[in-house]
Amino acid sequence: MTCSSPVTMTGPKTMTFPQTMIWTTMMTHDPFHDKDISTLRTTDSALTLPSGRSIVLPKTFGFCRGVRNAVNLLHQTILENEGRQIWLLGAMIHNPAVNEQFAQRGVRIIAESDLETAFDTAPADDVFVVPAFGLPFDFERRLRAFVMPPGKIVDTTCPFVRRVWQAVSQAAAAGAAVIIHGQPGHQETTAIWSRAAAEAAAVAIIPNPDLARQFAAAAGTNDLYASYPAELLFNHKRLADTAWTVVNQTTMLGTDTTAIADILRTAAWHQAPLQIADTLCVATQSRQGAAKALCKRPCDVIFVLGGTNSSNTTQLYRLAAEHADAFFLQSPDDLQASMVRHFNPATATWEETKDWLTSSCQTIGVLAGASCPDSELGNLIRKIASLA
C-alpha cells in the first residue's frame, strides 16, 4: 500500500514523515537482522535436518511493514538525538525483546497504564515517540499542547491504524454508530474507541462471535445494557435507531469479523443499515493466509513465536491449534529438549508440556507474529534444529 497523505503534525514541536517515505526508511544497522532467516526467505521457507525431520515456515512471516517502519523510525530518532532523553509512550510493539532492546539504548518506556505520568515526569522539551498503535485521542491532543521547542513528537502510528480512524470519522460524519471488532484493553482498540466516543453517536466493542450473539440477542437497548458488559458500550440508547459501521482492530481474524457482521444482522431490535468498513490490515490478512496454508501441509507440531499480549500472534496461535499440537512461545528460551513452556491465551496462564518431540514428529511448523523480529525467530529455528 502506498499512502500519499502526510502524517499531520503541526507546529515546531512535531516532526512530519510523509507516508510515501514511511515504508522506505532504512536502518544503517539493523539489530533485529538474522542471516539464517534472510536465507530461508530466499528458499522455499523449509529446512531439512540431518535427522530427517523438517522445519517449515509460512511464505510470509515476521515484521510487517508497519512494525518495520515504527522500529526504523525509533532507531533513527535515537541516532539523530544523541544526548537527549527519548520517551516512548507505551510499548512500541507487543514484543518484549524489541522493547527491551530500545530500553537498553536509553529509551524510557512509559507503560500504557501510566501515560498520564508523562506530564509530571518528562520535561516538555524532550523527545516523545508515539508507538505503532497510536495514542488515545484526548491524551494525544494534550501531549501536542504540552511539548515545547526544542521538544518534538515522532509519530510512528501505522498507516493501517490511521485508516481505521478515518473510517470512524467517516461513519460518525454520516451519523452512524461505530461497532469495533477488537480486543478490549489493547492499545490499538483503546485508541480507536477514544476517537469513536469523541465523534460517533454510539460505540460498542465486540471482541468475538460469542459476544456478538449476546449483543444481538438483547431484547432492546435497556436489556443490552443489563446483559452486555457496560464498559464495552458508549451511549448505548442510540444503538437501536442508528446505522452501524463495523471497523476492526487491524490484527483480528477476518473470518471473525465477517461472522460478527452476519450475527449483528440478526439483531431484531436494530432495523437500520449495517456496513463493514474495509479496515483489516493487508499484512495481517496475508500472514493469516500463509499460516493457514502452512497448517494444512500438515505439521505434527507448530510453534508460534511472539509476545503473549500480541493480538496478531494470538490469532496465529488460534489457527495453528485447529490443525496440530500448537505451542505459543514468547521466547526461544521457552523451548527445551524435554519440555516446552507455553502460553495458553484462553486461560492467560503458562503451561508446561513434557516430551514434545516424539518419534512420530517429523514436520515442525513455525509461525511468527508481525511483531516478532528475525533475530528471535532465528534463535528459535537454531534451537529446534539442535534438538530435533
Each domain of the chain, given as residue ranges in start order, spans: 35-63+283-387, 66-158, 160-276
**Same CATH fold assignment for domains 35-63+283-387 and 160-276:** yes
CA angle 14, 18, 22 (to 5 degrees): 105
Rounded Cα gap, residues 124 and 236, in angstroms? 38
Query: What is the model's pLDDT at position 11?
Result: 35
C-alpha cell read off for 115 = 501515560
The CATH classification number of 66-158 equals: 3.40.50.11270
Query: What is the model's pLDDT at position 284?
Result: 87
Query: What is the model's pLDDT at position 273?
Result: 94
Instruction: Read off the amino acid at residue 119.
Output: F
The architecture (CATH level 2) of 160-276 comes to 3-Layer(aba) Sandwich (3.40)
3-state secondary structure 46-115: EEECCCCCEEECCCCCCCCHHHHHHHHHHHHHHHHCCCCCEEEECCCCCCHHHHHHHHHCCCEEECHHHH
Q: Domain 35-63+283-387 classified CATH 3.40.1010.20?
A: yes
Rounded Cα gap, residues 302 and 316, in angstroms? 10
Q: Which of 178, 167, 231 is nearest to 202 (CA)?
A: 178
Query: What is the model's pLDDT at position 220?
Result: 87
Q: Give yes or no for a cis peptide into 150 (omega within 30° of 0).
A: yes
What is the total residue count of the chain?
388
CA angle 42, 60, 112 (to 5 degrees): 130
Rounded Cα gap, residues 28 and 323, in angstroms? 40
Q: Look up the pTM and report it.
A: 0.87
Instruction: Return the beta strands (E) in 82-202 as ranges.
Output: 86-89, 108-110, 127-130, 152-155, 177-181
Q: Which of 76, 161, 91 is nearest to 127 (CA)?
A: 76
C-alpha cell read off for 318 = 488460534
**For 111, which DSSP code?**
P
Which residues share a beta bridge with 179?
204, 246
pLDDT along the chain (388 residues), means of 10: 30 34 45 90 86 94 92 96 97 94 97 96 97 97 96 96 98 98 96 98 97 93 92 96 96 91 93 92 89 91 96 93 96 95 96 93 94 95 95
Residue 2, number of CB atoms within 10 A of its CB: 8
Say which residue the cell 518495520 belongs to.
68
Rounded Cα gap, residues 205 and 183, in angstroms? 8
Contact residues for 199 (Cβ-Cβ < 8 A; gap 6+): 168, 169, 172, 173
CA angle 166, 151, 147 (to 5 degrees): 55
Rounded Cα gap, residues 281 and 122, in angstroms? 33
Query: What is the model's pLDDT at position 201?
Result: 96
Rounded Cα gap, residues 353 and 342, in angstroms? 8
C-alpha cell read off for 277 = 468498513
Q: How many helices (H) and strands (E) does the chain have?
A: 14, 16
